[in-house]
Amino acid sequence: MSQLLEYANDAQGAVSPALPLPTYIQSAIVPTASRTIDAQGAVSPALPLPTYIQSAIVPTASRTMLTVPNDYANWVVLFEYGADADVWVSVNHTAQPPASGIFADGNCLLNPQGLRVLAGDVVTVYNNGANSISVCAALYGLF
């Protein structure tokens, strides 16, 4: 079965080929309990409560470690940081900022929002900022 190529006007008024609408659109079904209503009244999916929440205040030039629990084999950890965070995070390595002025192989990420980790992994957080920083880790066990 062939579909005809349609044409549409772009923002500048030029005619450009456009793909037709798909025959089927698949989307995830989110249970009612994990939906929220935003300020405009629209229903949107929301993350469930994490399996664990760990938090720490990490002093300047210090590191702290979090061992991933063994309840599940696979996990997602989502991080939240205090304002103006300069936090380096590593999994199963020592977190530290990179050497100044050069690109080199490393094993740390600056202020990651989330990571997929395994049971028993050790997540290390290093505060490279001028002040103590609040770090929160929300751990989600995956089936």
Mean pLDDT, rounded, for 13-24: 50
Q: What is the pLDDT of residues 114-140, one digit of tens each?
A: 999 999 999 999 999 999 999 999 999
Q: What is the pLDDT of residues 23-73, one digit of tens each?
A: 444 444 434 445 666 667 777 677 788 999 999 999 999 999 999 999 999
Q: What is the pLDDT of residues 92-120, one digit of tens each?
A: 999 998 887 778 888 999 999 999 999 99
Residue ranges, CATH 2.60.120.510, the chain: 52-142
The two tokens of residue 58 are 């990490």
> DSSP secondary-structure letter at 130?
S
Q: What is the pLDDT of residue 83?
A: 78
- Class of domain 52-142 as given by CATH: mainly beta
Model pTM score: 0.68
The two tokens of residue 64 are 């702290």
Q: Which residues have a Cβ under 8 Å from the Cβ of 78 and sit 6 or more positions away?
A: 50, 113, 114, 137, 138, 140
Cα distances (angstroms) measured from residue 87 to each of 22, 27, 64: 43, 35, 11
